[in-house]
Amino acid sequence: MKKALLAGAALSLVMSTSAWADIIIATAGPMTGQYASFGEQMKTGAEQAVADINAAGGVNGEMLKLEVGDDACDPKQAVAVANQFAGEGVVFVAGHFCSGSSIPASDVYADESIIQISPASTNPKFTDERPGEGIFRVCGRDDQQGEVAGKYLVDNFAGKKVAFFNDKTAYGKGLADATQAAYEALGGKPAMVESYTAGEKDYSALVSKLKQEGIDVLYVGGYHTEAGLMARQAKEQGLTLQLISGDALVTDEYWAITGDAGEGTLMTFSPDPRGYETAAKVVKTLEDAGKTTEGYVLYTYAAIQAWADAAKTAGSTDFEAVTKALNDGTFNTVLGDLSFDDKGDVSLPGYVFYEWKDGKYAQIN
């Protein structure tokens, strides 16, 4: 087994749970950087899942110990994290967040016989081109999300000028391309298609171009930081614009960036599990502790639930046995009953629309 550690890579591993543990699992995502709010969601969900599983007796009589890896949504750092996990004897990873991190990391996990279940990586390539049978996800796919968003654009904005922006990442470009393809398949004609660079602060030139072209609707394939800046800078330029995006806006930080400029923003995300009866106990525990339940908290919790139940079915943490159990089983999770198809995609409801109002997002269909 290769257990090479990439020296010099920016890497942070935080050991969670103080109890002695025999089984090491992990979560990994952007614990630092501009997308750190999503890393916090994953960490919160993972810590609660481990605490609850251990309180119920652990897995096959053994306690779980959690490691948290910071990939900052950087592909090279994600590979470093994956190799570090291999060296630490991790048997399962609930991660990563960004598709651009999950895809390269999955090569390491397949090589090292580590099961990976992503709570959030939606690029179709993650499972369509997965390097091994131990790669899964409990979230949907960009082609599913794009189909819903493209139809919504055609149905609700007929005769309006629609622009498509993407941030050139595996997630953002993949989502924008899928949405644009669905939009065009239904007869829509994009008025503008542009790319931008994630991490920049000034999008006034792009906003000016939108204004000059008389754009009514902007679809953003990217993350909440850049989308939020675009919404705010559009308002500052006096541009009335309907901004629409995807599941990377499911964080309160979006509103912190936009303020009132975020009012009316639309986004696609899976049906909100916070209202599910299956999630009620976990949601209450987290809320009573003053912790977030937004976005991908429950998806990370569910990924760990599914793996733990599969390990119990297998009677071990052996890679092949647990992978078989994941492929064959149906798992009762905070997201409801779920199973995986032969690609490793999940059998959960698809995407619906949400609207931002008064600093919160709520499902509208």
> What fold is seen in the domain 143-269?
Rossmann fold (3.40.50)
Task: Considering the chain, tell me which residue range(s) the CATH 3.40.50.2300 domain(s) occupy.
Answer: 13-140+274-338, 143-269
Beta strands across the sheet bearing 266-269? 192-195, 162-166, 217-221, 242-245, 266-269, 352-357, 360-363
Residue (of 91, 42, 38, 48) closest to 68 by Cα position = 42
pLDDT value of residue 99: 96
pLDDT value of residue 233: 97
Written as tens digits, the pLDDT of the chain (365 aa) is 433 433 333 344 444 433 444 899 999 999 999 999 999 999 999 999 999 999 999 999 999 999 999 999 999 999 999 999 999 999 999 999 999 999 999 999 999 999 999 999 999 999 999 999 999 999 999 999 999 999 999 999 999 999 999 999 999 999 999 999 999 999 999 999 999 999 999 999 999 999 999 999 999 999 999 999 999 999 999 999 999 999 999 999 999 999 999 999 999 999 999 999 999 999 999 999 999 999 999 999 999 999 999 999 999 999 999 999 999 999 999 999 999 999 999 998 889 999 999 999 999 97
Residue 107 has phi, psi (to 5 degrees) of: -65, -40
H/E element, 162: strand 162-166
> Tokens 């912190």 map to which residue?
256
pLDDT value of residue 4: 40
CATH number of 13-140+274-338: 3.40.50.2300
